[in-house]
């Protein structure tokens, strides 16, 4: 087992306090801290604390021994997942991720960043607000009626006909700045759409504000999770959560961002049949709570002292409060809040002790 130095990513939507408090820092950070990364992503790999070697380089030196034969055969000589903590103080972009076939085609023909899908699961550490998946058409039509904005008539007609994809296309390609302003003013009077008015304050004139009318608004309680599969449109709004995803860069943005937007690409991969994204309570087995997902690349667990972590394949462990002691064989690692470790492939199980709480990421080859 190897203790890691984690990486902090600064984006404008981050928090000056959340990740600082998680790590036990004595004061807020001077700039917004948005993401804490644990993994071997080539842009910002974690480093082995005792020697400073980047985790991706460490794995490349012995992929069979460190990743194990199952993970190596299924995913190649790389860690297939990336573990994060998100600290969201301002809305993220409205985005979608391709499935495996779309990612492979997009990488070959459209310049996608890689050939992998990017499903993800996020577990709330605090109350966490997000837009994820499409609201039921009848409920969306009722909310559009409550807005009473004439310019939304084409979108409303498409929704009423069950043509959610057409409604999204109209919202993203037929929206003017004036319509966004009308929608924002009306949404401020409809409690269920207060988040839409707030989006317009951050991104005035952005068509993504109108597209957000179609999405399901979810507020997760601590311990609840949301699974975002391929093609599911989503935009995180606020809160702190642990996120596990395939180690991929394939993000297609539709709006609510200063980054590059590719509406045709979004419309080509969005799953208009997805409905609201799945909210997971987790399956509790003593000191382990598992958040099941269908992806072979990852599975995520909340782990408390007394938990036994079966061996097999590469694993990451991140302590989120208190401290935990990880023991496997004759090896022992102590993690304080905000600290993490890499557990290489081994058939022996690891045991957790201490008085804290951690999140455990592993491959899911039985999926």
Distance (Å, rounded) from C-alpha 324 to C-alpha 44? 25
The DSSP call for residue 49 is: T
Burial (Cβ within 10 Å: 0-12, 13-18, ≥19) of residue 126: middle
In tens, the pLDDT along 76-109 reads: 999 999 999 999 999 999 999 999 999 999 999 9
User: Looking at the predicted structure, is the pLDDT value of residue 335 above 80?
Assistant: yes
Both tokens of residue 113?
Answer: 């960043």
- Chain-centroid distance of CA 357 in Å reads 20
| Closest among 272, 237, 233 to 253, alpha carbons compared | 233
Query: Quick one: which H or E segment has residue 243?
Result: strand 234-246
Tokens linked to 232: 């599911």
Q: How far apart are CA 131 and CA 136, in angstroms?
A: 13
Side-chain half-sphere of 315: how many Cα atoms within 13 Å? 25
Say if residue 225's pLDDT is above 80: yes
pLDDT tens track for 22-55: 999 989 999 999 999 999 999 999 999 999 999 9
**In this predicted structure, what is the pLDDT of residue 278?**
87
Enter the tokens of residue 122.
């996020």
User: Which among 130, 111, 158 is positioned nearest to 262, based on CA atoms?
Assistant: 111
Token readout for 245 is: 């995803």
Nearest-angstrom CA–CA distance, 147 and 195: 14
Token pair belonging to 162: 């069950």
Tell whether the model's pLDDT for residue 367 goes beyond 90: no
Cα–Cα distances in angstroms (integers) from residue 280 to residues 28, 228, 277, 293, 342, in the given order? 32, 11, 10, 10, 26
- Total number of residues shown for the chain: 367
The chain-wide mean pLDDT, for the chain, equals: 96
pTM of the model: 0.96
Are 49 and 75 in contact by the 8 Å Cβ rule? The answer is no
Tokens of 168: 């999204």
pLDDT at residue 219 in the model: 97
Q: How far apart are CA 51 and CA 300, in angstroms?
A: 28
Active site residues: 253
Q: What is the pLDDT of residues 124-180, one digit of tens each?
A: 999 999 999 999 999 999 999 999 999 999 999 999 999 999 999 999 999 999 999
Residue 124 has φ and ψ, to the nearest 5°, of -75, 130
Tokens of 280: 């997971």
Q: How far is it, in rounded angstroms, from Cα 52 to Cα 30?
A: 25
Task: Give dist(CA 54, CA 72) in Å, integer.
Answer: 19
């Amino acid at each position: 087992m190897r203790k890691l130095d984690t990486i902090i990513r600064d984006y404008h939507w981050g928090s000056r306090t959340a990740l600082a408090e998680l790590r036990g820092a004595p004061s807020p950070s001077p700039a917004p801290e948005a993401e804490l990364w644990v993994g071997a992503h080539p842009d910002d790999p974690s480093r082995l604390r005792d020697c400073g070697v980047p985790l991706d380089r460490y794995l490349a030196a012995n992929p069979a021994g460190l990743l194990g034969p199952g993970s190596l055969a299924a995913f190649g000589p790389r860690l297939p997942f990336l573990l994060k903590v998100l600290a969201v103080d301002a809305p993220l972009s409205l985005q979608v991720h391709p499935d495996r076939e779309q990612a492979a085609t997009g990488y070959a023909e459209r310049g996608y960043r890689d050939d992998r899908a990017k499903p993800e699961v996020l577990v709330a550490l605090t109350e966490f607000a997000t837009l994820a998946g499409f609201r039921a058409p009848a409920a969306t039509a009722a909310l559009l009626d409550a807005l009473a904005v004439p310019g939304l008539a084409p979108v409303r007609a498409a929704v009423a006909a069950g043509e959610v994809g057409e409604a999204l296309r109209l919202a993203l390609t037929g929206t003017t700045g004036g319509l966004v302003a009308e929608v924002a003013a009306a949404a401020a009077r409809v409690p269920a759409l207060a988040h839409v008015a707030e989006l317009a304050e951050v991104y005035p004139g952005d068509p993504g504000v109108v597209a957000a009318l179609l999405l399901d608004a979810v507020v997760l309680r601590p311990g609840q999770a949301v699974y975002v599969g391929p093609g599911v449109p989503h935009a995180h709004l606020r809160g702190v959560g642990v996120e596990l995803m395939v180690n991929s860069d394939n993000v297609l943005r539709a709006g609510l961002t200063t980054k590059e937007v590719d509406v045709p690409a979004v419309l080509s991969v969005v799953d208009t049949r997805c409905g609201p994204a799945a909210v997971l309570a987790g399956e509790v087995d003593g000191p382990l709570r598992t958040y099941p997902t269908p992806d072979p690349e990852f599975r995520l667990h909340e782990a408390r002292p007394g938990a036994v972590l079966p061996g097999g394949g590469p694993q990451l462990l991140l302590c989120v409060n208190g401290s935990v002691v990880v023991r496997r064989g004759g090896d022992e690692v102590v993690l304080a809040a905000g600290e993490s470790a890499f557990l290489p492939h081994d058939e022996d199980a690891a045991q957790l002790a201490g008085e804290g709480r951690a999140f455990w990421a592993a491959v899911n080859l039985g999926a």
